[in-house]
Structure 1
Amino acid sequence: MSERTTADALAELVAAIGSAAFPVRFLDALRVLGAVELCSVFRRTRRGVELLFAEGSTPAQPDFPLAASRDYARAHWRSDAQMLRARGTNPLIVRRSASDIADPAYRAACYERAGVIERLSILWPDLIASGYRTVAVGAFAAHDVSRIETHAALLYAALAQHLRANAATGFLFDEDALVEKLLGLECRLSAREAEVAAGLMLGETQEGIAQARLLSPTTIVTYRRRAYGKLGVANRRDLVALHRRLIAAPNLAQH
């Protein structure tokens, strides 16, 4: 990859700070630096990790990055010993392949379901940025790791500034907070419609939403259709785009 291409990707990342385009630009930067296909960013907390954003898609599992990252933040980080590392001031680059993971539930949810073969993470004291490669691209090469490590300081600076710029809005990956946000829109969603829409925005399946709320799949489809109509969206992609708009515009009052 040329230095000009790298410089352009990093410049676009900096220009996107504080906007809804930042997650896409962050993935673009990692893709230029190390052929990363998917990415996720977490904040370390005293209780574990908090998902800030996930970006990318795979043909078979378009919602995989968000769904897998939410599963990781909820439970699977406990099976990841690398989370306990990087307590100094300098970033630490760590790699983990699917074959290294002993926990079958963690391996299936965060790797195998989308054919992820390896993860490369930048661990800072307060943040974690991970890039993923699938079997279609293969494992990271030494020069990929070196390029990402060389630019780790800039990536962190952009992330930190983006977090400060969005501190007042939050990232709306908390389902209860997202439901409240949806109920505050002028489209007059019912509570159930908002719950279903929020779950779908956050990568849950209709089957999972039905099981969690002890409702039939048919009922969930009905709530989904009503929510889509009121929100003015036609499909899951439009719904995800609306989620990004809610993140970027805290005072959004209508669709």
Structure 2
Amino acid sequence: MQSWRITPPSAPQRDVQACLASVIGAVGDAGFASTALASVNGALNAASWSVYRVWRDRAPVLHLSSSHGVRDTTRDCFAVYRDGLYQRDRTFDAARNASARGDALMFRLRARDFPNRDHREAIYQRHGVSERLSIVAPQDDDSVLAVNLYHHDHQGSFTEAELANFEQLAQGLLATVRRHIELTEVATPKRPDLAALHLALQRHCPTLPPRELDVCARLLQGLSYDGIAADLGLSVATVKTYRRRAFERMGLHFKSELFAAFVGRG
């Protein structure tokens, strides 16, 4: 794995400037993830990207992801990562060690160099991803924010020209992504606390199995079936099956009855 500190670009190339301008223009838009990735491809090829935050002691959070020119499996990949692979991911340790200085670092990691075989096989080999370029920055809450660009197998390795463009793009892209996250998080109402909803559901129906609890709690948070499926790494059909079983246990027929019973309760 290669890593290096970001240095301010003295004179960005024209294609990098145009790329960053397009990314900035999409900030706050619902389609930011796909528009920004398409813009980035004006400076370097990346078939997919993801932006997420990782901690040492809690599950990671995916802020956005998208693909360009290939089938989008980024959320499927993150669901696998969130399901436990993150606990053995040491690829961001250097960024954590830089937290005292607040430095942002860049990393280049080829799939074959991943130290964890399960990680390498479940995400990179299974989905045809060959290489990752990352901009990684420590955050005030002891997390690390990672902006990741991926080459897929058909794209080969990142070229020296692409790496040079990436270095010129890095600071502006990181700042733009941070601003987009700030804007969209402010615009999105805070969801009810998941742990409190779990507790309320357990009190009401102690026989609910863990996955049925997970699904019902997220329904009460306002997530759609698609959103629950992405969050839990399940298919929509499986989510609906868990919902049906849970409703049968609780004697409910409609989602409105679930909300009437639990919304507003701690």
TM-score, structure 2 normalization: 0.63
| Residue 139 in structure 1 maps to residue 150 in structure 2 | no
1:12 pairs with one of 3, 16, 22: 22
Question: C-alpha displacement at 1:210, in angstroms?
Answer: 6.5
User: Which of 87, 109, 121 pairs up with 1:78?
Assistant: 87
Q: 1:30/1:206 Cα in 2 relative to 1: closer, same or farther (>3 Å)?
A: same
Report if aligned partners of 2:28, 2:180 keep a CA contact under 8 Å in 1: yes
Q: Point out the structure with max Rg over C-alpha.
A: 2
Distance 2:86 2:39 in 1: 25
Aligned to 2:259: none
| CA deviation string 1:45-73 (max 9, x = no partner) | 453532111111675xx341111023223
Residues 171, 162 of structure 1: CA spacing in aligned structure 2 closer, same or farther, 3 A cutoff?
Answer: farther
Question: Please, which of 207, 212, 219 is the counterpart of residue 179 of structure 1?
Answer: 219
In the other structure, the counterpart of 1:28 is 38
Alignment pair present for 1:55 and 2:95: no
Map 1:223-242 to 2 at 5 A. Answer: none
Structure 2: segments with no counterpart, 5+ residues = 1-11, 140-144, 195-213, 246-266
Of residues 35, 40, 52, the one that matches 1:42 is: 52
Work out whether 1:109 is the aligned partner of 2:122: yes
User: Which of 198, 215, 222 in structure 1 is aligned with 2:227?
Assistant: 198
Q: Is the 8 A contact 2:43 2:162 kept in 1?
A: yes
Bigger drift between 108-117 and 46-55 goes to 46-55
Tell me how far 1:166 sits from its aligned partner: 1.6
**Structure 1 pair 81–209 and aligned structure 2 pair: CA distance change class (3 A):** same
Q: Which runs of 4 or more aligned residues in structure 1 lie more than 6 Å from their structure 2 counterparts after TM superposition?
A: 174-177
3-state DSSP of counterpart to 1:82: coil
**Partner letter of residue 66 of structure 1?**
R
Q: Which residue of 1 aligns with 2:198?
A: none
TM-score normalized with structure 1 length: 0.66
**Contact 1:27–1:38 under 8 Å retained in 2:** yes
Unaligned segments of structure 1, at least 5 residues: 184-193, 217-255
Indicate conservation of the 8 Å contact 1:17/1:162, yes or no.
yes
Residue correspondences, number: 202
Per-residue deviation at 1:137? Answer: 0.6
Taking only aligned residues, the RMSD between alpha carbons, in angstroms, comes to: 3.4
| Aligned-partner Cα distance in 2 for 1:68–1:93 | 21
Aligned residue type for 1:140: F
The percent identity for this pair of structures is: 22
Distance change in 2, residues 1:132/1:82 (3 Å): same
